[in-house]
Amino acid sequence: MKKITINDLIKWKQEGRKFASSTAYDASFGQLFEQQEMPVILVGDSLGMVLQGESSTLPVTVEDIAYHTRCVRAGTPNSLLMADMPFMSYATPEQACENAGKLMRAGANMVKLEGGDWLIDTVKMLTERAVPVCAHLGLTPQSVNIFGGFKVQGREQEKADRMVRDALALQEAGAQIVLLECVPQELAARITEVLDVPVIGIGAGNVTDGQILVMHDMLGIAANYMPKFSKNFLAETGDIRKAITKYIDDVASGAFPDEAHTIA
């Protein structure tokens, strides 16, 4: 697979070509995903739940993400590699720059931050200093205690309109990707249409430019809860490589997510 950059994703958005992405946490799975031509890989703070056995992502540290980013980069020289900024690692723009630097030096091509327009100054500072940003809107798992659980976001008109405004403001500040999690498909379509940058969805229907799944969910090896929007591709294919390829192909064709794996 050739080296993937943000320019490739922008071009694919313009061409209407949908792309798949997945989390990964080590060199072996990273290499496996790249061999199947997965263009985008995320070292997610989801590792707190699927690797460490925590009940949320909050205990994950910058050092945890940096360690796993180095591992994944060792197996994925060509995929675009995003790394999550963990809980309270970007409370101020200055703190964000310091911690993003650690993740970029570990091998990330981009960092992902959860939050709305309060992140504008942080996104500006990061991108001005050569750190590409993915802005994460909707269900932001680091806000689990504010939301009162892992709940769908943007169903009310006022909150949906605010999410659209936040997406536009973050794009204007320099965000090069927007990730939408657990939002109604209609809202995901609105945001995807108004933004020039690629939009990646998880639990947001098949209207976004790309899709992402936690690898443990995609392969049916999650230790506890399987979200409604996830699908066990390994059960359908019986082979890990075939499962990854089917996921990539189904995203490209628009077959995944179907109605059964979309938030109403």
45 labelled ligand-binding: yes
> Catalytic pick from 181, 186, 236, 259?
181
Q: What's the CATH code, domain 6-261?
A: 3.20.20.60
For the chain, the domains span: 6-261
Tens digit of pLDDT at every position of the chain (264 positions) = 899 999 999 999 999 999 999 999 999 999 999 999 999 999 999 999 999 999 889 999 999 999 999 999 999 999 999 999 999 999 999 999 999 999 999 999 999 999 999 999 999 999 999 999 999 999 886 766 565 555 677 789 999 999 999 999 999 999 999 999 999 999 999 999 999 999 999 999 999 999 999 999 999 997 666 788 899 999 999 999 999 999 999 999 999 999 888 876
pTM: 0.94
84 labelled ligand-binding: yes
Active site residue 37: no
114 labelled ligand-binding: yes
For the chain, what is the HEC assignment? CCCCCHHHHHHHHHHCCCEEEEECCCHHHHHHHHHCCCCEEEECCCHHHHCCCCCCCCCCCHHHHHHHHHHHHHHCCCCEEEEECCCCCCCCHHHHHHHHHHHHHCCCCEEEEECCHHHHHHHHHHHHCCCCEEEEEECCHHHHHHHCCCCCCCCCHHHHHHHHHHHHHHHHHCCCEEEEECCCHHHHHHHHHHCCCCEEEECCCCCCCEEEECHHHHCCCCCCCCCCCCCCHHHHHCCHHHHHHHHHHHHHHCCCCCHHHCCC
46 labelled ligand-binding: yes
